[in-house]
């Protein structure tokens, strides 16, 4: 046995310890890594899945992973901007047969205020 590969106590390449180099599996994130790994990853989401979320949920959850940012896969069917530079988008499933009656998900984009003198 070549002891130079025994860095993690895995007897060489880790054959006797389950192949993980000392019994530690580096492919499974720890709870800390799992909770923060998806903070900056935008994930595609369809309107139907977003409509199943409750109003108090702030993150999109898939299995044990939660995402702060989603890319909505759909079609904008209505958009309007109010006097406060706030734009509201109504988005429906892009594959809907009749977009006039399709379920819609609302997205609000808050803008800055312009100073007018």
CB 29 within 8 A of CB 66: no
Place of tokens 């299995």: 63
Per-residue pLDDT band at 28 (split at 50, 70, 90): low
DSSP for residue 25: -
Q: Which residues of 53-91 are buried (b: 16+ CB within 10 A; e: fewer)?
A: eeeeeeebeeeeebbeebebbbeeeeeeeeeeeeeebbb
% of the chain residues with pLDDT over 90: 26
Tokens at 111, concatenated: 């803008």
Per-residue pLDDT at 79 exceeds 90: yes
Note the pTM of the prediction, 2 decimals: 0.57
Tell me the mean pLDDT in the region 42-67. Answer: 88
Stretch among 26-30, 48-52, 76-80, 86-90 having the lowest mean pLDDT: 26-30
């Amino acid at each position: 046995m070549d002891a130079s590969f025994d860095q993690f106590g895995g007897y060489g390449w880790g054959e006797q310890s389950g192949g993980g180099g000392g019994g530690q599996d580096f492919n499974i994130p720890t709870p800390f890594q799992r909770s923060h790994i998806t903070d900056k990853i935008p994930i595609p989401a369809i309107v139907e899945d977003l409509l199943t979320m409750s109003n108090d949920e702030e993150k999109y959850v898939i299995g044990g992973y939660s995402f702060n940012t989603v890319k909505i896969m759909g079609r904008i069917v209505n958009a309007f901007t109010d006097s406060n530079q706030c734009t509201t988008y109504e988005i429906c499933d892009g594959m809907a047969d009749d977009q006039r009656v399709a379920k819609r998900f609302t997205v609000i984009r808050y803008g800055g205020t312009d100073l007018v003198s």
